[in-house]
Homo-oligomer: A and B are copies of this chain.
Amino acid sequence: MKRSSKQIEYTEDTEALANFAKALGHPTRIVILKHLENQSCCFTGDLVDVLPLAQSTVSQHLKELKSAGLIQGELKPPKIKYCINQENWNIAKTLFQQFFD
């Protein structure tokens, strides 16, 4: 943004929905989430094998999904097990449902 601009105000729901949508706004992240829906859980390495991307890139996408609240990581040495964050997943689901009327 050129001008730092008068920090626009949005409702919480609008902000939340846009946030979730943004996290879903990349095909790689859709693939990751679909994978997690099937397997219920998986490790970073599994995804690196499936996706034609560098390990660091996959890790970065996972980080974004985590910061959006859609997934969570559980330490399972020496691996990390990622699962859908069911609570936030349901919130997102509801927001999209409401949005699409």
Contacts and interface: CB of A to CB of B under 8 A. Distances in A.
A14 B92 CA distance: 18
Interface residues of A, number: 32
> Which secondary structure dominates where chain A touches chain B?
helix
A14 B37 contact: no
Contacts of A31: 10, 14
A30 interface: yes
A70 to B, nearest CB: 11
Nearest to A28: B8
Interface of A: 6, 8, 10, 14-15, 17-18, 21-31, 33-34, 37, 51-53, 89, 92-93, 96-97, 99-101
